[in-house]
């Protein structure tokens, strides 16, 4: 027998000499990096996304992992952006360079996602957007950035589509709309889209008021809202600011005939509803990234199991951010099964070829995930809910509305509540 000593081949040669097959190597984990706000003002949302991702990874790993990679397991590594663009960008570079992740997911805040995904593009590392809606994220000609969820244009269009639907159903509706929004990338992007659609549909903008994040008092802004008398008010705010706005709006009892219309953010956060009186959010309209009332009827055993796992740790049912985390991981499983590789280029190519029409990647409520040449899922959509009788009930699109859901439109004056 020829003695071989290079690269550990001695053992293999000896095994071959006595007729033994070499032992099969264990499949290596596929490392997925997440950049999320795990501390700071958006921490609750970031941690909900994290928990959803962990639940989905547990399910996938327990079911045998990635079949095309010999049963490789998903290993998730989380980095805290603190909702700060510079930290998000530096953490992205760390995950790519030091942790050698196969791909990245992030970063909820548009102001963080925009520069952080640019870092990923520079290093040719696939980035799956979660939560962030700034239009320009997928309008830069990038080849490694993919967004399954709505962009800001879609969110704005859905809010006005819901107002138009209720107007058509009842013959009543606003002619003027107010805008109250946080002054970062997300808020400015959404306000610009609302103004564009409002002009096309014949609405006037009676209030256009932005504010810097992390306010301690909205008294001056409440006076402006009261003076402007918007017939409907669109609000764009993360959890801390949405809490403050809602409390002061409730204290001031400002009558807005066709209600407050929130574009998600803080109003999709369960901690928001725990921190304000129920009366403060009665008749609140929310552009949701997840159909909040679907768990009442969904019998898919994987959804039921995911909700059980999520609730055991969070203390409440899956919400939009938890659902996005679950969807992100199941999308990654689909991509890895098709790429049959943890190579970044092959993953990028598989992402670009994605066309999913069923299964857990669609848990958030889309009917399809298919990316255009810019990396945007053009089939993404949300729903609009109204808080009726202490429950967020889907009212738009009408096809998603339960038979026993009756929108309240216009909303009652404070004196009649």
Question: How confident is residue 185, by pLDDT bands cut at 50, 70 and 90?
Answer: confident
Question: Could you tell me where the DSSP H helices lie in 237-300?
Answer: 239-252, 270-275, 278-281
Model confidence at 151: pLDDT above 80: yes
Chain centroid to CA 233: how far?
23
Distance between CA atoms of residues 116 and 124, nearest Å: 13
- CA 122-126-129 angle, 5° bins: 105
CA nearest neighbour of 44 among 266, 263, 264, 236:
266
Write out the residue limits of the CATH 3.40.50.2300 domain(s) in the chain. 30-150+296-370, 153-288+382-416
**CATH number at 153-288+382-416:** 3.40.50.2300
Q: Out of 3.40.50.2300, 3.40.1080.10, 3.40.50.300, 3.90.1150.10, select the CATH number for domain 30-150+296-370.
A: 3.40.50.2300
Distance between CA atoms of residues 207 and 123, nearest Å: 43
The SS3 assignment for 337 reads helix
Following CA atoms 46, 49, 50, 56 in sequence, which dihedral angle do they give, to the nearest 10 degrees? 180
CB of 331 within 8 A of CB of 296? no
Model confidence at 26: pLDDT above 70: no
Which contiguous run of DSSP H or E holds residue 181? strand 176-182
- Residue spans of beta strands (DSSP E) within 60-102: 74-80
Q: Residue 196: what pLDDT?
A: 97
Q: Residue 24: what pLDDT?
A: 45
* Strands lying side by side in the sheet with 232-236: 204-211, 176-182, 232-236, 260-262, 285-288, 383-388, 391-396
Tell me the pLDDT tens digit for each residue of 90-140: 999 999 999 999 999 999 999 999 999 999 999 999 999 999 999 999 999
Check whether the bond before 21 is cis (ω within 30° of 0): no
Tell me the pLDDT tens digit for each residue of 194-210: 999 999 999 999 999 99
Tell me the pLDDT tens digit for each residue of 369-417: 999 999 999 999 999 999 999 999 999 999 889 999 999 999 999 999 9
Query: How many alpha carbons fall within 13 Å on the CB side of residue 124?
Result: 5
CB of 160 within 8 A of CB of 198? yes
Distance between CA atoms of residues 195 and 179, nearest Å: 9
CB of 393 within 8 A of CB of 288? no
Burial of residue 227 (CB within 10 Å: 0-12, 13-18, 19+) is: exposed
Helix 320-339 to helix 301-314 angle (10° resolution) is: 130
The distance in angstroms from the start CA to the end CA of the chain is: 92
Between 13 and 39, name the one with better pLDDT.
39
């Amino acid at each position: 027998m020829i003695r071989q000593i290079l690269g550990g081949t001695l053992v293999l040669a000896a095994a071959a000499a006595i007729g033994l097959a070499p032992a099969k190597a264990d499949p290596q984990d596929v490392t997925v990096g997440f950049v999320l706000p795990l501390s700071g003002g958006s921490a609750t949302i970031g941690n909900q996304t994290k928990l959803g991702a962990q639940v989905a990874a547990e399910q996938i790993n327990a079911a045998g992992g990635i079949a095309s990679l010999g049963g490789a397991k998903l290993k998730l590594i989380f980095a805290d952006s603190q909702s700060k663009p510079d930290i998000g960008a530096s953490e992205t570079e760390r995950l790519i360079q030091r942790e050698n992740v196969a791909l990245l997911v992030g970063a909820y805040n548009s102001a963080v996602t925009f520069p952080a995904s640019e870092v990923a593009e520079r290093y040719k590392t696939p980035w799956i957007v979660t939560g962030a809606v700034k239009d320009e994220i997928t309008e830069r000609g990038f080849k490694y950035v993919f967004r399954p969820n709505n962009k800001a244009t879609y969110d704005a269009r859905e809010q006005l589509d819901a107002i138009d639907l209720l107007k058509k159903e009842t013959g009543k509706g606003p002619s003027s709309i107010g805008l109250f929004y946080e002054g970062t990338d997300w808020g400015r992007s959404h306000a610009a889209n609302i103004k564009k659609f409002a002009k096309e549909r014949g609405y006037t903008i009676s209030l256009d008021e932005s504010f810097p994040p992390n306010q301690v008092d909205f008294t001056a802004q409440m006076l402006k809202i009261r003076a402007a008398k918007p017939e409907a008010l669109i609000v764009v705010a993360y959890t801390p600011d949405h809490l403050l706005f809602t409390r002061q709006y409730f204290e001031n009892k400002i009558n807005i005939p066709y209600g407050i219309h929130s574009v998600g953010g803080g109003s999709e956060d369960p901690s928001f509803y725990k921190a304000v009186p129920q009366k403060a959010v009665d008749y609140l309209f929310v552009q949701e990234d997840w159909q909040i009332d679907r768990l009442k009827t969904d019998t898919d055993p994987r959804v039921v199991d995911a909700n059980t796992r999520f609730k055991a740790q969070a203390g409440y049912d899956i919400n939009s951010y938890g659902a996005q985390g679950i969807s992100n991981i199941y999308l990654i499983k689909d991509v890895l099964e098709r790429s049959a590789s943890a190579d970044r280029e092959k993953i990028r190519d598989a992402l670009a070829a994605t066309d999913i029409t069923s299964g857990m990647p669609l848990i958030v409520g889309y009917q399809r995930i298919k990316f255009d040449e810019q990396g945007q899922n053009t089939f993404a959509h949300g729903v609009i809910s109204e808080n009726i009788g202490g429950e967020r009930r889907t009212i738009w699109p009408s096809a998603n509305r339960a038979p026993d859901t009756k929108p309240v439109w216009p909303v009652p004056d404070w004196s009649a509540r």
